[in-house]
Amino acid sequence: MKQIGAQISTKNFYKVTVICITFILCFSFILVLPKINSFGLSNNNITSLSSKNNSSFMETLRQYPWEALLHAYQNKKNDTSKFSLWCSKLFLKLTPFIIAESKVNINFSCTPPPLQFPSSMSPCTKLSKPRKVAVLLQHGFDADTLEIHFHELGELVDKFFIIESTLTYYLGVGKPLIWERLKEQPRFEKFVPKVVHLVLDDEELLKVQLETVKEEEGQIKDSIYNIEAFQEKMRWLKFLRWNNITKFFGDEDILGFGDVDEIPNRNVIFHLKHCEMFGYPVDIGTWFPYGRIYQAFRTDYPVGNHAYTYGDPTYWTFKKALNFARRNNFKKIPTRKRGTSGNFVVGGIHMTHYGYLPFQLAKLLTTIEAVDVGVQNKFAKIIRFLMNELRMNETLSKGEEIQAFKNVEEELSKTPAEFLGRIVKVEKLKLEFEEEYTLLVKLPWFYDCNRERYPTWEGKHDERLD
Ligand SMILES: *[C@@H]1O[C@H](CO)[C@@H](O)[C@H](O)[C@H]1NC(C)=O
Ligand SMILES: *[C@@H]1O[C@H](CO)[C@@H](O)[C@H](O)[C@H]1NC(C)=O
Ligand SMILES: *[C@@H]1O[C@H](CO)[C@@H](O)[C@H](O)[C@H]1NC(C)=O
Ligand SMILES: *[C@@H]1O[C@H](CO)[C@@H](O)[C@H](O)[C@H]1NC(C)=O
Ligand SMILES: *[C@@H]1O[C@H](CO)[C@@H](O)[C@H](O)[C@H]1NC(C)=O
Ligand SMILES: *[C@@H]1O[C@H](CO)[C@@H](O)[C@H](O)[C@H]1NC(C)=O
Ligand SMILES: *[C@@H]1O[C@H](CO)[C@@H](O)[C@H](O)[C@H]1NC(C)=O
């Protein structure tokens, strides 16, 4: 913030926007439900769920009744259930593509460099016993980013706790459980034994939905934070219950709280695992490329004076975490601290704004409310853009189809104009702040070995759409 040379109002606008975006990214999978009458829709239609369809992405999009979706959107204040039904159907259509593995195979001859203690951290004073590591992730519908996260930390982490929800955003639409599908895929096979899948189901979400309805009617405030708190609280409580039975993690073991796309550098976790630290909790300052791997975004939640970091995830010792919760009577629980922990290290990446189109569309679907806050009817505008660009009523040649997808990918994944002022090219950072660049700009090894698997990070077309 200190480096924004603009007026207060602009600063606040940025702040609000960044808070919104953070919120969207973190809680896109469970937002608010305004009308109780749509609860009945939260059951998935099993017939359409089982869509193991091999039609192309274009075909799939063409089969979808976009006009009906738009009509229901315009009318959603009158009839929430129609709109939520069409959203749900679209989500189910997107799911096979969201979870689809890249057509570019993993390069198995590319292996991670040896682990080493980061030179930017104090020299390692070895612990008598390495700490076990738990990573607690909120999961919406990431697949590729989860793959990168797992490969970055897999050998250091003892358990990944993945929490996801059966309902999406504010209409309470049924959401397919993504990990349930991913775990069948060979690419995730070796990580499956380390994963503990936590699910928030319709019943558990009901209370938050009801409270949110009350808040819509002006009875309680800050429901957004109630929901955020609820997600994070349940992640923590479910972890505690799990550990109460297994007794797997002890006082000095560490727990990382974050999202799938907040990926610490493995050497940092290697240090936390084996070396004494000045204090916990500790925020991991992550580089934030914002959709394009050659960028760095100046965030509102940096660590220290590292303006181009984002202060998440946060790692706690189990003892500190438990004491914190007890001290606050479990009204406050340990979670990410966005750079406010007081202790920080720099190293990792926040892989937000991933450009793969099915992922982008799913994100759009789960954030309609937030999307519409800035620009009225923005959701409809994006859908119209999609329909026009993809020329859904015409027969296209393969070449035209690919070009159409390229246009849409480019438009939806580009950096929004209002953020351009806070983005630098990493090359520029290298020229002007070389030390910062060297500290910050480190690619996850698996991404670096397999860049062609995730081409939209470089603004290229993803062939899974063809
Ligand atoms: C469920 O989906 C299938 C296929 O899309 C459709 O034929 C069926 O009518 C749907 N059932 C309900 C209850 O919506
Ligand atoms: C699968 O694709 C075929 C045609 O390609 C279509 O008729 C069918 O409805 C699709 N099924 C689902 C469940 O989407
Ligand atoms: C879908 O599967 C059928 C039979 O398994 C195959 O004949 C057809 O070519 C496939 N279509 C596509 C688009 O892959
Ligand atoms: C939606 O509801 C409002 C008031 O409840 C009503 O005035 C309007 O005509 C309704 N619109 C449609 C399309 O039903
Ligand atoms: C795979 O990785 C190895 C080691 O980095 C590299 O030499 C090789 O060119 C890569 N193969 C492909 C197909 O990219
Ligand atoms: C852990 O288990 C003990 C004994 O069964 C129980 O008293 C305690 O409430 C449990 N704590 C949690 C957090 O579940
Ligand atoms: C596409 O065709 C449908 C029905 O044939 C029509 O309602 C719709 O307006 C057309 N959309 C565009 C963008 O031309």
Percentage of residues in the chain with pLDDT exceeding 90?
A: 67
pLDDT grade for 210, boundaries at 50, 70 and 90: low
Distance 246 CA to ligand 6 centre (A): 12
Check if 75 has its Cβ closer than 6 Å to any atom of ligand 4. yes
Average pLDDT, the chain: 85
Answer yes or no: is pLDDT of 339 > 70.
yes
In what helix (H) or strand (E) does residue 109 lie, and over which residues does it extend?
Answer: none
Ligand of minimum distance to the alpha carbon of 393: 7
Rounded to whole angstroms, how far apart are CA atoms 433 and 370?
35
Answer yes or no: is pLDDT of 3 > 80.
no
Tell me, what's the pLDDT at 209? 66
Mean pLDDT of 311-340: 95
Kindly give the number of the ligand 3 atom that is closest to the alpha carbon of 56: 13
Rounded to whole angstroms, how far apart are CA atoms 152 and 450?
13
Pairwise pLDDT comparison (171 vs 246), residue with the higher score: 246
Distance 319 CA to ligand 7 centre (A): 60
Tell me, what's the pLDDT at 340? 95
Report the range of poorest mean pLDDT among 169-183, 302-316, 373-387.
Answer: 169-183
In what helix (H) or strand (E) does residue 101 lie, and over which residues does it extend?
Answer: none
Answer yes or no: is pLDDT of 211 > 80.
no
Decide if 401 contacts 386 (C-beta within 8 A): no
Tell me, what's the pLDDT at 222? 46
Report the range of poorest mean pLDDT among 52-66, 169-183, 329-343.
Answer: 169-183
Answer yes or no: is pLDDT of 170 > 70.
no
Q: Which residues pair with 282 in a beta bridge?
A: 315, 343
Q: Domain limits at 460? A: 1-466
pLDDT tens-digit map of 404-415 = 999 999 999 988
Distance 74 CA to ligand 4 centre (A): 11
Pairwise pLDDT comparison (292 vs 373), residue with the higher score: 292
Helix (H, G, I), strand (E, B) or coil at 385: helix
Pairwise pLDDT comparison (337 vs 203), residue with the higher score: 337
pLDDT tens-digit map of 360-383 = 999 888 777 666 767 788 899 999
Q: How many domains does the chain have?
A: 1
Answer yes or no: is pLDDT of 41 > 90.
no
Sign, CA torsion 447/450/452/454:
negative
pLDDT grade for 223, boundaries at 50, 70 and 90: very low
Distance 110 CA to ligand 5 centre (A): 6
Answer yes or no: is pLDDT of 28 > 50.
no
Ligand 1 atom 9: the closest Cα is on which residue?
Answer: 47
Answer yes or no: is pLDDT of 4 > 70.
no
> What is the reported pTM?
0.84
Mean pLDDT of 114-138: 96
pLDDT grade for 29, boundaries at 50, 70 and 90: very low
Ligand of minimum distance to the alpha carbon of 63: 2
Tokens of 247: 């007794």
Check if 50 has its Cβ closer than 6 Å to any atom of ligand 2. no
Ligand of minimum distance to the alpha carbon of 59: 2
Mean pLDDT of 243-252: 98
* Mutate which of 42, 48, 51 for ligand 1 pocket (most atoms within 8 A of beta carbon): 48
Amino acid present at 318: F
Report the range of poorest mean pLDDT among 36-40, 146-150, 365-369, 437-441.
Answer: 36-40
Kindly give the number of the ligand 1 atom that is closest to the alpha carbon of 89: 5
Pairwise pLDDT comparison (335 vs 214), residue with the higher score: 335
Check if 107 has its Cβ closer than 6 Å to any atom of ligand 5. yes
Rounded to whole angstroms, how far apart are CA atoms 363 and 345?
30
Q: Which residues pair with 297 in a beta bridge?
A: 423
Check if 244 has its Cβ closer than 6 Å to any atom of ligand 6. yes
Tell me, what's the pLDDT at 36? 36
Kindly give the number of the ligand 2 atom that is closest to the alpha carbon of 59: 5
Check if 48 has its Cβ closer than 6 Å to any atom of ligand 1. yes
Tell me, what's the pLDDT at 26? 44
Tell me, what's the pLDDT at 82? 85
| Torsion of Cα atoms, 155 then 160 then 166 then 170, to 10° | -100
pLDDT grade for 130, boundaries at 50, 70 and 90: very high
- Half-sphere exposure in the Cβ direction for 403 (13 Å, CA): 6
Ligand 3 atom 8: the closest Cα is on which residue?
Answer: 54
* Mutate which of 64, 393, 394 for ligand 7 pocket (most atoms within 8 A of beta carbon): 393
Tell me, what's the pLDDT at 227? 60
pLDDT grade for 81, boundaries at 50, 70 and 90: confident
